[in-house]
Structure 1
Amino acid sequence: MDIHSTILYHLKEDMWLSYLAQKLISTDRLAPQSWCAMGNYFSMQKDHETALKNFQRAVQLNSRFAYAHTLCGHEYVALEDFENGIKSYQNALQVDARHYNAWYGLAMIYLRQEKYEFSEHHFRKALQINPCFSVIMSYLGTSLHALKRNEEALEIMENAIIADKKNSLPMYQKANILVSMEDFNGALKVLEDLKEYAPGESSVYALMGNIRLMYDKAMLHLGLALDLKPSATDVATIKATYFSNISSTSLTHVRMCQA
């Protein structure tokens, strides 16, 4: 029932989740799963303090219930109480070292705190337990990108895309990595593909716009360099430098973005 309530939470089925939580509480108030369902309902309503109290009640009823500890950690993170969030996730792992949700929760805290080596380690631990989870792969790639290990990050993102083609996150992150590597053409191609999966995502168009701005900045500096009247050999070298990463296909795409 605790897992069923989590599924309803992710599906945003608040009416059914409310019904399930009330039914479970009326059936057995001493079952930790009942309070997890109630906590999930309040978490969906963004009432994180009340949700936390319900999850804490579940822990009181069964301190060996790893999932309840993890749900407490999620609510602490939502309240930006990272210290207690870390403690909750660690409590979950003391109960069950293979509880990948807790490894993932710790990794997300370290990622937000910019402790990228720690986040990489914990994402990898989570991925060892659940090797087909595209979301974990995506954030592992994000950590690797922050550590400037872009080739590894791109490989992980490719695996994440293959694992779940409906997950738009790794495609977007792949585009970001390619932009940082100044592969604007590759980034735009990924974004064009991503538009098919997530046509309503404003961040996709914003990133395409940023690539357009980078192109404009490159053109400005190119113009300044050429205004200094360099030799014919230098002119060829300057143009080759500025256009090495921006193909004709890229220019077509950025004009489409501008339109």
Structure 2
Amino acid sequence: MALESNERPDKPITKFESMLKTDDVYFFDAEDFEDIVHHYLNHGKISLAKKGIKIGLQQHPGSIELKLLQVEVMVFENQTEKAEALLDELQLLDHQNEEIYIQRANIYSKQDNHEGAVELLQRALSITTDSFDIYSLLGMEYLFMDNFKKAKESFMKCVEFDEQDYSSLYNVIYCFEFLEDYDGAIIYLNKYLENNPYCEVAWHQLGKQYFYKEMYTEALSAFDFAIISDDSFIGAYFEKGKVLEKLGRHKEAIENYETTISIEDPTSHAFLRIGKCYEKLKDTEMAKYYFYQTVHEDPLLDKGWLAITNLYFNIRDF
């Protein structure tokens, strides 16, 4: 028996899962089915997503959006021939649907035809007003092609749409770094921070650019601002410790590395840096303690074993 959605006040996901456990059949709007399938795809629950698509198409056999989600699952499962055949059918029904071109681009990308994928994504851009996701996909295709200039431009578009899209922000900076354009990255991040002065991610990335250019005073200030913006941001403490080491302020560096350990579980890299600082301070026993902590935390870290070897070599304990 089909039940109208307003007879069950629960959220669509809860209601759908309840339906799967019983013999009842509940009615959902096509949009509800889309939300249900997106939810399961986002959580990697492909079998439940496929059930949602199957039941959704039984109730809404003409839904192009549900069929496009079916294509997405087919592509994920490498059923590219079936996916292309269904896309051919959908394109006859709605040749102005940008999602059709996006899914074709996904197929091309999986086949390592990244130039073809870019052409299709550009076509999708020409027929849509919602281009955020397409620019993100374009950026990834350009990365596959090692076209870091175009990738950078695409990810910049994503950040323009959503300044909180830190994944794209990281990708922008990654492109700057690969191009060794540290000055360009600094200019870009400073401009970004004018509008987002409390963005710990941007301050952290800015500090790293200054570090690459050996502008240690500026790097230290940037990491301090990152910590002010988020006093639990481990990456900023760790990078600040590295700057303090460069400035010869080893006791302060140790304090920052110890802060990372106090916030989250200790890491072998933090132990190693602390050991290196004690070594610089001529405190052999403490250095030895932290080097052994390093290899206890990660027995496969070669730098830890080399640090122990060098320490014994330097004190002539062959």
2:215 counterpart of 1:80: no
Residue 132 (str. 1) matches residue 236 (str. 2):
no
**C-alpha contact 1:101 1:126 (8 A) present in aligned 2:** yes
Equivalent of 1:92 in 192, 203, 207? 192
Match of 2:251? Answer: 151
Cα displacement (A) at 1:65: 6.5
Task: Determine the C-alpha separation between the residues in 1 that align with 2:299 and 2:221.
Answer: 34
- Please, what is the CA RMSD of the aligned residues? 3.2
Which amino acid in structure 2 is aligned with residue 47 of structure 1? D
Q: Is 2:213 aligned against 1:113?
A: yes
Query: C-alpha deviations, 1:101-158, integer Å up to 9, x for none?
Result: 1111110111122211111110010011121122211111111122222221111111
**Greater relative contact order (Cα 8 A, min sep 6): structure 1 or 2?**
1
Find the aligned partners of 2:257 and 2:302 in 1 and give their Cα distance: 21
Change (3 A) 1:38 1:179: farther
Percent identity for Structure 1 against Structure 2: 17
Residue 212 to residue 109, structure 1, CA distance change in 2 (3 Å): same
Indicate conservation of the 8 Å contact 2:268/2:295, yes or no: no
TM-score (norm 1): 0.65
CA distance, structure 2, for counterparts of residue 106 and residue 77 of structure 1 = 12
Give the CA deviation at 1:214: 1.4
Find the counterpart in structure 2 of residue 62 from structure 1.
161
CA distance in 2 between counterparts of 1:171 and 1:113 reads 26
Match among 146, 170, 175 for residue 47 of structure 1: 146
Contiguous gaps of at least 5 residues in structure 1: 1-17, 217-250
AA aligned to 1:32 is F
Verify the 8 A CA contact 1:74 1:105 in the aligned structure 2: no
Matched residue, 2:110? none
* Structure 1 position 208, deviation (Å): 1.6
Aligned partner of 2:217: which letter? E
2: CA distance, partners of 1:40 / 1:173: 34
- CA offset at residue 39 of structure 1? 3.2
Specify the SS of the correspondent of 1:30: coil
State the alpha-carbon separation in 2 of the partners of residues 157 and 46 from structure 1: 38
Say if 2:158 and 2:165, in contact at 8 Å, map to a contact too: no
Q: Aligned runs of 1:189-200 on 2, under 5 Å?
A: 189-200=289-300
- The 1:94/1:71 distance shift into structure 2, 3 A limit, reads farther
- Runs of 4 or more above 3 Å deviation: 22-31, 36-43, 45-48, 61-71
**CA–CA separation in structure 1 for the residues paired with 2:209 and 2:245:** 17
Whole-Å Cα distance in 1 between the matches of residues 145 and 226 of structure 2? Answer: 26
**Structure exhibiting the larger radius of gyration computed from Cα positions:** 2
Which of 184, 198, 201 is equivalent to 1:101?
A: 201
Distance in structure 1 (CA, Å) of the matches to 2:181 and 2:136? 20
**Which residue of 274, 293, 302 corresponds with 1:174?**
274
The number of residue pairs the alignment matches comes to 198
